[in-house]
Amino acid sequence: MYLRNLITFLILFACLKVVANQSVDIIPKPVSLQMYSGSFEITEKTSIQFNSRQTELEQAAHFLSDAIESISGIQLSFNEETEHQIQLKLTSANMLGDEGYNLNVSADGIVLEANAKAGVIYGMQSILQMLPAVRTNAKLIIPCLAIEDYPRFKWRGMHLDVSRHFFGPDVIKQYIDLMASYKMNVFHWHLIDDQGWRIEIKQYPKLTDVGAWRVDYNHLVWDKRPQAKPGEEPTYGGYYTQEQIKEIINYAAERNVTIVPEIEMPGHIASAIAAYPEYCCTQKPQLPLTGGNYTNMSSNYCAGNDAVFTFLENVLNEVLELFPSEYIHIGGDEVNKNSWKKCELCQQRMKDENLKDENELQSYFIKRIEKFLISKNRKMIGWDEILEGGLAPEATVMSWRGEAGGIEAAKMGHDVVMTPGKPCYFDHYQAGPTGEPLAIGGFNTLKTVYDYEPIPHELSTDNAHFVLGAQGNVWTEYMTTVEHLEYMVLPRMAALAEVVWTPKSNKDWDSFNKRINSQFNAYEQKGLNFCRGNATVAFKPISHAGNLSVEMSTEVLDGEIVYTLDGQDPTLKSKAYNEAIKINSTAVLKASVIANGVVVGTEPSSQNFVMHKGIGCDVLYTNPVSTYYLADGPNSLTDGIRGNGTVGKFWHAFNENDLVATLDMGEIKSISDIKLGCLQKYRDWIFMPKEVVFEVSVDGKKFKEVGRVVNPIDANEAELVYDFKTFFKAKKVRYVRVIAKANVCPPGHNGAGKPSWIFADEIMIK
């Protein structure tokens, strides 16, 4: 039977006509896709064929037949002699690896081959993307084609925080379904944080009886929620029973999704301390937090108390029993070490173990846990803070504070997963913020996600293979509902899927931007909430040699940009953008996108430009600018654009070193007024410089001080912009130098005593 089928198949394929101008909208884009003329229809008479001794194929056959039944009511038979067949085969093709597949569709039938079940399932996901998304009476027609496909990276992850807001098992399954449809394979389940413990641990029932519940302030914005008072009833929360978790793990495994649980330690565990205060340094009871009121909180396990390690090993034993994953995530981020500084047991531990500071104490903590996990044949992964004080010997690092941690770890020969805030944090805005639900901040559009390259250019080819892949992180502080969660994830998850699956050389934004429309239709049919894409106009100032011009771009498919400089909202009749426009005076640039004959988006994108004598001047920095917060390049401080406090698109950042910026105005000019704009944002470790010094020079060699301003801003101010300024008797000079002195985080802050960031937006000269 197999031989006959094979021969028919080969003959058929030989006769097929290649069609170049047709395609299918599969996401992530396959490695190779060849379209042929004709199509195959799945009907009542189609059967699925497989070797019934291969149970993994039988499981895969069920996956496909269930999916086909749910969209059509058709029940496909297994291994019956029907005229039209879908053949599933295990093969041994080197190129395909563990997860690749070959899919051949002819008018006569379908052949799906892979080395392992994962590949068969992925081939089925490709088939399903070509069929209706929901139950219809439409015919199930698939065009004739040949696909060869396999992933670029082995870690194709999505994270979900279920502590800040709780999402029940059905939501988790839907999330896993979405991941699986895009061939994502790691679900990083953030089960524990200050605001709720979400996994049943039988030996410690109070973790969920107490730690899973908090006083409900969900009607208030996250960072405006008061801490609960004793006596207020905790009514908001929830947790997953071990039975539910087992079911979800199996559900995920059927879709080739591995669940990596995150058992956060040693910080971010107020929920555990609420249940068992004896495991923190003060041993004083406290309540799970209601929101983002972190300041002055100390919610760490005590690193000096051996009972803590016994507790954690007992917890981990139950976790390991449940989760078959090779990796266990132990958190490790944002530990406020103040409690350790004041704790006798912690200080004694540091003496006994010869640890020179609290960073080394954190490292001791993590290494001790890693040793335990290794003894159980598991691998430990943690956030990039686990590098501080010394990395555990076999740890894998998840790089979230930019890529620096990942680069450092890879250079040391450790595996890394890339999840830099830009663009992998899907809790950031994607199309606004105007018109979008309130988010924590940031701006990661669909295209910025799509354009992400997980291998940093800093890594040699030898070190690049330590990058296992990348992951999208979904922190839910601002997401109280499933609808909001869906909106933040869709469609960015699809873009990231193509980043981690599709060969770099095959990536093509325009093609993705077209294909995503099929996904939009599917989301609509399934009743999923999603973002239709970013209709804002991106402004790219080009400040150079005394001139300022602006380039504009749009992510809207076939979108055209119209703009004004007179403050009016652009209309269909406004000037069309073709090439970079010159800015010669203080102006408001407003721009909109036109697509299909209408203006899209809720309101125009708008940018103020302030003119001054430094505009377009080249800036030379004595110390390097953060490559992560670069704003729009080296001349960001002379582009006429002020920063934006919440979204933070135009801030230029410095860490540890002074900001020393020297401007060349190109000719002698008479000036009498210099300002430097700076941001303070307590939560994000951004503080005013200690002091700002202003200097001028005629020849660029000898500089003369013309002003000095000591920081007048209280370090406890949560967020504000302040202009350091100096006025002086007019001077004829060519060069201006601004020195902003590095500062540290204030006492009581999470980073107390550590270098803070300087965020500056503009040097304004009059």
Number of residues that bind ligand ACM (CB under 6 A): 4
Q: Which of 58, 108, 193, 200 is catalytic?
A: 193
Alpha helices for 343-455 (secondary structure H): 344-352, 358-375, 404-411, 421-424, 446-450
Under DSSP, the state recorded for 657 is S
Helix (H, G, I), strand (E, B) or coil at 103: strand
Q: Closer to ligand ACM at the Cβ: 181 or 750? A: 750
Smallest gap from Cβ 11 to ligand ACM, in A, equals 56
The piece of 73-81, 277-285, 391-399, 606-614 that touches Zn ion (CB under 5 A) is 277-285
Q: Closer to ligand ACM at the Cβ: 156 or 188? A: 188
Interacting partner of 272 out of Zn ion, ligand ACM, none (Cβ under 5 to 8 A depending on kind): none
Interacting partner of 383 out of ligand ACM, Zn ion, none (Cβ under 5 to 8 A depending on kind): ligand ACM
Interacting partner of 696 out of Zn ion, ligand ACM, none (Cβ under 5 to 8 A depending on kind): none
The strand pairing partners of 402, in sequence order, are none
Smallest gap from Cβ 318 to Zn ion, in A, equals 24
Q: Which of 334, 436, 560, 673 is catalytic?
A: 334
Q: Closer to Zn ion at the Cβ: 286 or 635? A: 286
Active site residue 684: no
Q: Which of 165, 188, 190, 268 is catalytic?
A: 268
CB 72 within 8 A of CB 140: yes
The strand pairing partners of 417, in sequence order, are 398, 469
DSSP-assigned states of every residue in 294-307: -TT------TT-HH
In whole angstroms, give the CA distance from residue 194 to residue 177: 28
Interacting partner of 302 out of Zn ion, ligand ACM, none (Cβ under 5 to 8 A depending on kind): Zn ion
Which of 266, 267, 304, 604 touches Zn ion (CB under 5 A)? 304
| 361: contact with Zn ion by CB under 5 A | no
Q: Closer to Zn ion at the Cβ: 336 or 574? A: 336
Q: Which of 165, 293, 271, 287 is nearest to 225 (CA)?
A: 293
Residue number of the CB closest to ligand ACM reads 333
Interacting partner of 151 out of ligand ACM, Zn ion, none (Cβ under 5 to 8 A depending on kind): none
Touching Zn ion, residues 318-347 (CB under 5 A): 343, 345-346
Smallest gap from Cβ 748 to Zn ion, in A, equals 18
Q: How many CB atoms lie within 10 A of CB 44?
A: 11
Interacting partner of 619 out of Zn ion, ligand ACM, none (Cβ under 5 to 8 A depending on kind): none
Interacting partner of 334 out of ligand ACM, Zn ion, none (Cβ under 5 to 8 A depending on kind): ligand ACM
| 281: contact with Zn ion by CB under 5 A | yes
| 539: contact with ligand ACM by CB under 6 A | no
The secondary element (H helix, E strand) that includes residue 35 is strand 32-42
Smallest gap from Cβ 187 to ligand ACM, in A, equals 16
CB 48 within 8 A of CB 69: no
CB 580 within 8 A of CB 612: no
Number of residues that bind Zn ion (CB under 5 A): 6
Tokens of 193: 């944080």
Q: Closer to ligand ACM at the Cβ: 405 or 677? A: 405
Q: Closer to Zn ion at the Cβ: 279 or 530? A: 279
Smallest gap from Cβ 195 to ligand ACM, in A, equals 13
Please give the backbone phi and psi of residue 502, each rounded to the nearest 5 degrees, phi first. -75, 140
Q: Which of 528, 524, 535, 529 is nearest to 435 (CA)?
A: 535
Which of 215, 249, 302, 470 touches Zn ion (CB under 5 A)? 302
Interacting partner of 648 out of ligand ACM, Zn ion, none (Cβ under 5 to 8 A depending on kind): none
DSSP-assigned states of every residue in 322-342: H---SEEEEE--S--THHHHH
| 383: contact with ligand ACM by CB under 6 A | yes
CB 442 within 8 A of CB 421: yes
Smallest gap from Cβ 328 to ligand ACM, in A, equals 16
In whole angstroms, give the CA distance from residue 433 to residue 616: 28
Q: Which of 103, 761, 186 is nearest to 468 (CA)?
A: 186
Interacting partner of 281 out of ligand ACM, Zn ion, none (Cβ under 5 to 8 A depending on kind): Zn ion
**What are the residues whose beta carbons fall under 8 Å from the beta carbon of 498, sequence distance 6 or more?**
27, 28, 29, 450, 507, 512
Smallest gap from Cβ 303 to Zn ion, in A, equals 6
In whole angstroms, give the CA distance from residue 423 to residue 52: 45
In whole angstroms, give the CA distance from residue 259 to residue 571: 49
Q: How far is CA 365 from the centre of its chain?
A: 27
Smallest gap from Cβ 475 to ligand ACM, in A, equals 6
Q: Which amino acid is at 24?
A: V
CB 178 within 8 A of CB 125: no
| 400: contact with ligand ACM by CB under 6 A | yes
Tokens of 552: 């504009």
Site string (323-342) toward ligand ACM, x via CB under 6 A? ----------xx--------
Q: Closer to ligand ACM at the Cβ: 496 or 617? A: 496
| 426: contact with ligand ACM by CB under 6 A | no
Active site residue 544: no
In whole angstroms, give the CA distance from residue 243 to residue 195: 23
| 308: contact with Zn ion by CB under 5 A | no
Q: Among all chains, which residue has been given the structure tokens 């070190």? A: 463
Q: Closer to ligand ACM at the Cβ: 247 or 333? A: 333
Alpha helices for 382-508 (secondary structure H): 404-411, 421-424, 446-450, 461-464, 482-489, 492-501
Interacting partner of 674 out of Zn ion, ligand ACM, none (Cβ under 5 to 8 A depending on kind): none
CB 202 within 8 A of CB 242: yes
Q: Closer to Zn ion at the Cβ: 237 or 304? A: 304
Please give the backbone phi and psi of residue 97, each rounded to the nearest 5 degrees, phi first. 60, -155
| 684: contact with ligand ACM by CB under 6 A | no
Smallest gap from Cβ 275 to ligand ACM, in A, equals 22
Q: Which of 388, 387, 393, 355 is nearest to 374 (CA)?
A: 393
Tokens of 433: 């913020």
Would strands 416-418 and 396-399 be described as parallel, antiparallel, or unpaired?
parallel
| 253: contact with Zn ion by CB under 5 A | no
Interacting partner of 508 out of ligand ACM, Zn ion, none (Cβ under 5 to 8 A depending on kind): none
In whole angstroms, give the CA distance from residue 346 to residue 352: 10
Smallest gap from Cβ 445 to ligand ACM, in A, equals 20
Smallest gap from Cβ 683 to ligand ACM, in A, equals 12
CB 388 within 8 A of CB 357: no
Catalytically active residues, by annotation: 193, 268, 334
Please report, as ranges, the residues that interact with Zn ion according to CB under 5 A: 281, 302, 304, 343, 345-346
Please report, as ranges, the residues that interact with ligand ACM according to CB under 6 A: 333-334, 383, 400
